A and B are shown apart, each in its own frame.
Chain A
Amino acid sequence: MEILGLLGDGMALSLQPLNILLIMVGVTLGLFIGAMPGLGSVNGVAILLPVTFLVPPGSAIIFLAAIYYGAMYGGAISSITLGIPGASTAVATTFDGRPLALKGRASLALVTAAIASFIGGTVANILFTMFAPLLASVALSFGPPEIFALMLLAFATFVGLGGDDIPKTIFSICIGLVFAAVGFDQISGAPRLVFFDISGFLHGINFLVLAIGVYGIGEMLWTLDTTRGKITSTETKMSVKGIVDDSKEGMKRGWKGTTIGSFLGFFVGILPAAGATPGSLMSYGVAKMVAKNPKEFGQGHPGGVAAPEAANNSASTGAMLPMLTLGIPGSPTTAILLGGMVIWGLTPGPRLFVDQSEFVWGLIGSFYVSNFFALVINLAFIPLFIWMLRMPFTILAPLIFVLSVVGGFAATRDMHDVWLMLGFGLGAFFLRKFDYPLAPAVLAIVLGPIAEPTLRQSLLLSSGDPMIFLNRPIAGPITIIAIILILLPVLNWARGKMRKTAT
């Protein structure tokens, strides 16, 4: 019960007038930062550092948590309304969020996303509060072979996500994985695939450059082309009753996805090398698998919005765990946070919960409070985003292009990447015409940089013996499940064939 007392103190701190104000400002700011393609919680947290010196450290932490939560909610907004995933964690949200918006149900998608995020964040907070030290040791037991097995599982869960054309889907996955290898080989330390010795390729191809190119430019050109530039939005005006109805429908059809996302997202999120993106992808994949009618996923099913959104909020909270308990940043955002903690004179690591319990519980307490306010403020802003969608397309389109270019630059601050993004956009436009699915490439470029080094680290550990993925207690079962899932379509196909020949 000591924990509850400490948590109560933490929450009480968040509820002081100055701190409530900071939470409101932080959440709103975070919401817009997250909604801006190319910017994410990492930028939000970076602006926090100077603020830390204006307010007491306790309030600074609260402000930080507010921005962090706001940005996590905001990621879904650009995925749904613009069709551009603003952060890698929100890619899966576009799969069903975008179709819903195109059907004129953007408000349903946004409301579902907000509620699922809230539930995901809350579940994660509760798990965090109760099991933090225990989970830290789980995170430690995940070495390179376990992380690679997990990546394999992530790939397995989205095997069915591509189009019907199998060679084109495989092509798309592979090109994403190859682009992920551009830059620098971590194992041998040698530059790799630096095309024409252009130095911009040395830092690799950022996920956002490909994602904004494909969705912000390629998809937009394609939409203009296929609709002859005459898109009309069927979005209805928002009312309070509309929001209430949408939340009822969203939860009725999305509760399964939300539950899966909340738990799966958290457990993947606490692994320092994995993070929120694999968590949200796997949750989407699993939600689709267990759905009564998996065919509805991808056509605009609220469950397909709820699962990744619950997962990425839950995972982002989970990602705080290795940072606080092990001092290992699981994401760039937590890395900057870690720097901030050093500046405040705290040493993240196994002793933090003991030596600085007031800080830790203040932070966790502010998570609960920020999460709640993020939900309320997000719901309040939904009419604004719907109103944006009702703008004439000849205004919305240039705005999306401008956001894409600005976001493409902001992601890496390199003009090289803006040109690359335009190239990807034009390439994606033509590939889209010929039915190449591009979502697999975008996902692969996120997972590639995790999968390749862990594969090779594992093989170095085992002196080249691939059995290392099977004979370790945690990696083994995960690998076997992944292989079964990958082979499942083949098995089904073979069974169908056999039945055919039998009859």
Chain B
Amino acid sequence: MSLTKRTFMTTLAASALAMTGFSGPAQAFEPTKPIDFVIMAGAGGGADQIARFIQSVAEKKDLTTRPLVPNNKGGGSGAEALIALKGASDPDHTILVTLNSFFATPLRQPNLGIDIQTFTPVAMMGVDPFVLWVHKDSGITTFEQWLETVKGMDGEYVMGGTGKGQEDSTVVAWMEGTFDIKIKYIPYDGGGAVAKDLAGQQIMASVNNPAEAKGFYESGDVVPLIAFSDERLAAYQDVRTVKELGHDFSYYNQRAVVGAPGMSDDAAAYYQDLFKTVYDTEEWQGYMASESLSPLWLDADQQREYWSTQVQNHKDLFAAMGE
């Protein structure tokens, strides 16, 4: 078992209390009922797969005394999940697997009354980079060629994505603004459907996570052009990043777990500990490698900081998109 700094401090404080004769509930938290493991996306999406992977790792290693029960609440771009967490009747047994709609949805729908800083940080499990893909039959092999083609089509170039305000559309909007191109954007209900319609040439290009396009990449149907990550991706070493082109831009989808607002410190410490253990397992490390996730472990305080910067980033991006 690995101790995070925080649990270590809690344990220390607890033993100190015990020694001075206080008989408070010093024992660390243990769940007494099944843990409501809310997923901010419908069944089958990237976030859902990750949640179920984490659940099965926890199950396999017997890490929890009560099971994690996956609960898909993908409605309203994650608004449904955020509202469910905010009103959770038992915050100590309610956690949420998030993606970037955790930041974007409260910004785009202020009437929800969600303040994400009230949520309890649990674990940052990694971030999922985005890559621009085209079909091999288009003959395009470089990003410059692609830009040329898009410009030549004058607004008739068709891309697919998971919907306005979703992660990939943010990247598309950024490209439109930066490279002065116009794209026709078709929303789908999931990244998998986008990748499939790219392979079937229903659309001309897509911004997909590597995990979603991997199967078609291995079969040679789709070609990666450029990555929107800070550094080149291990599995796609010859794909350049936009940073190499001199643009200070990168965009990742966060794969993080947060607790309901009002979760007790003991419970938060318990879950932080649990997910640190999951993070360090061979299984999770292997999953990140095979699905090209970038490892990024953040402790609770760093997560809060990360949230602030991300909220600001999204505000800037939305402002730049003219929303």
Contact = CB atoms under 8 A, between A and B. Distances in A.
Is A bound to B?
Answer: yes
Nearest to B291: A342
Given A49-B59, A336-B52, A339-B48, A184 B216 contact: no
Interface stretch (A157-165, A344-352, A421-429, A439-447): A344-352
A342 B76 contact: no
A340 B55 CA distance: 11
A347 B163 contact: no
Given A189-B164, A328-B192, A350 B215 contact: yes
Interface stretch (A74-82, A135-143, A360-368, A387-395): A135-143
A478 to B, nearest CB: 16
B216 A350 contact: yes
B75 interface: yes
B230 interface: no
B215 A50 contact: no
Interface residues of B, number: 52
Contact of B187 (A336, A340, A457): A457
A477 interface: no
7 contacts: A143-B202, A199-B79, A273-B193, A342-B49, A349-B218, A461-B184, A463-B156
A352 B221 CA distance: 14
A335 interface: yes
B186 A326 contact: no
A347 B218 contact: yes
B304 interface: no
Nearest to A142: B200
B270 to A, nearest CB: 21
B80 interface: yes
A501 B216 CA distance: 62
Contacts of A351: 215, 218-219
A485 to B, nearest CB: 26
Given A186-B187, A202-B83, A332-B43, A350 B219 contact: yes
Interface string A131-151: 000000001111110000000
Interface residue tally of chain A, by bracket?
35 or more
A189 B163 contact: yes
A52 interface: yes
Interface string B58-96: 011000000000110111110110011000000000000
Interface in B25-75: 43-44, 48-49, 52-53, 55-56, 59-60, 70-71, 73-75
B260 interface: no
B39 to A, nearest CB: 11
Given A141-B200, A199-B84, A335-B43, 9 more contacts: A50-B59, A143-B197, A144-B197, A188-B164, A194-B76, A326-B199, A327-B196, A327-B214, A347-B214
B43 A336 contact: yes
Interface in A186-242: 186-189, 191, 194, 199, 202-204
Across the A-B interface, the 10 shortest Cβ-Cβ residue pairs: A349-B215, A335-B44, A350-B219, A203-B75, A143-B202, A140-B200, A202-B75, A327-B215, A202-B76, A189-B164
A203 B41 CA distance: 11
Interface in B189-243: 189, 192-193, 195-197, 199-200, 202, 214-216, 218-219, 221
Contacts of A144: 186, 197, 202
Contact of B166 (A189, A328, A347): A189
B59 A204 contact: no
A183 interface: yes
A232 B243 CA distance: 76
Nearest to A46: B70
Contacts of A463: 156, 184
A234 to B, nearest CB: 42
A351 B217 CA distance: 10
Contacts of B202: 143-144, 461
A343 interface: yes
A42 interface: yes
B138 interface: no
A191 B75 CA distance: 9
A191 B192 CA distance: 23
Contacts of B165: 189
B56 A343 contact: yes
Contact of B56 (A53, A183, A273, A332): A53
Contact of A184 (B70, B71, B77, B291): B77
B287 interface: yes
A338 interface: yes
Contacts of A104: none
Contacts of B108: 189
